[in-house]
Amino acid sequence: MDFYQINNLERLSGIKAHTIRIWEKRYGIITPYRTETNIRYYDDVQLKKLLNVATLASSGLKISKIAALSSDELKSIIKERKVEGEDTERYEFFINDLISSMLDFNEQAFNLLFADILVQFGVQKAFINIVYPFLSKTGVLWSIDETMPVQEHFATTIIKKKLFSLIEQLPPAKANKHKFLLFLPSNEWHELGLLFAEYIIRECGNTTISLGQNVPFVDIEYVVKKVQPDFLLTFLISDANKEEMGKIASLISQKFKKTIFLLCGNPSKLISYAETTQIKVLQHPNDILKFI
């Protein structure tokens, strides 16, 4: 069992800590445990309940009505809203379910849920509106050390398997479409974004050449010269590659003026990169669609 402080719940649910305290005191939505020094903390069950309550509240249901629901009634209304609610609300419930399955290491539930999401929304819509926000939300958990790396690996390994399978099922590239060179620079290992980019690029009939993780500049330079792609695409998660990104930008601006360099990744890491006619900064998966 994992334990969370109130500021962790605030980040994950989007509900201010002050409001969570009011919900506790006035409505008994969740009941915190207390340390010997009287500091609130919460467990997985309370986190999962708060996520669903927050989603219902954001859809317009009054907190007093939510609080009056029994456990079975709450489950029933959530089940109903997941089927009949607005898409934005349904996305949130599916995100909450993915988080719950990850925290429980429930691979069967995660797989069934993932398959259901793909059937209901299609690959592109599912990844942009559910999987990407799920990874962003749990990224908050990772950054505050509230999920262990093994939980990260559990979830991302399953999603990567799905993406590999989906990419293999795509038809061959179409003639006269764009050529994309995909890679992660030195010391970048989180390839989930790269795989999703490859899927949506290939789905539109473009050619992709993927070099994978941890690719040194000398190899990137060689392949760019060899294949002369229309686009380079990479993801930045760490701060360690500013110099390397500068080398790549300089390479294409000096020698490959028809190539566009697409920089994707954590928005906080992309702030220092200025856009030019050949360098484009993409802060959301939707941004990739502009170039395919």
Task: Delimit the domains of the chain by residue range.
Answer: 3-167, 173-291
Strand 179-183 with 40-43, pairing: unpaired
In this predicted structure, what is the pLDDT of residue 244?
84
In this predicted structure, what is the pLDDT of residue 14?
84
**8-46: pLDDT as tens digits:** 888 888 899 999 999 999 999 999 999 889 888 999 889
DSSP string, the chain: --EE-HHHHHHHH---HHHHHHIIIII-S---EE-TT--EEEEHHHHHHHHHHHHHHHTT--HHHHHTS-HHHHHHHHHHHHHHS-HHHHHHHHHHHHHHHHHHT-HHHHHHHHHHHHHHH-HHHHIIIIIHHHHHHHHHHHHTT-S-HHHHHHHHHHHHHHHHHHHHTSPPPPTT--EEEEE-BTT----HHHHHHHHHHHHTT-EEEE--SSB-HHHHHHHHHHH--SEEEEEE-SSTTHHHHHHHHHHHHHH-TT-EEEEEE-HHHHTTPPP-SSEEEE-SHHHHGGG-
In this predicted structure, what is the pLDDT of residue 284?
84
**233-273: pLDDT as tens digits:** 999 877 677 788 888 988 888 999 899 999 998 777 787 78
**80-101: pLDDT as tens digits:** 988 888 898 999 999 999 988 9
Average pLDDT rounded to a whole number, residues 199-215: 95
In this predicted structure, what is the pLDDT of residue 215?
95
Output the CATH code of domain 3-167: 1.10.1660.10
**CATH homologous superfamily for the domain 173-291:** Cobalamin-binding domain (3.40.50.280)
Question: Is the pLDDT higher at 135 or at 166?
Answer: 166
Above 70 in pLDDT, residue 201?
yes
Q: Do 3-167 and 173-291 share a fold? A: no
Mean pLDDT of the chain, nearest integer = 89
Question: Is the pLDDT higher at 100 or at 107?
Answer: 107
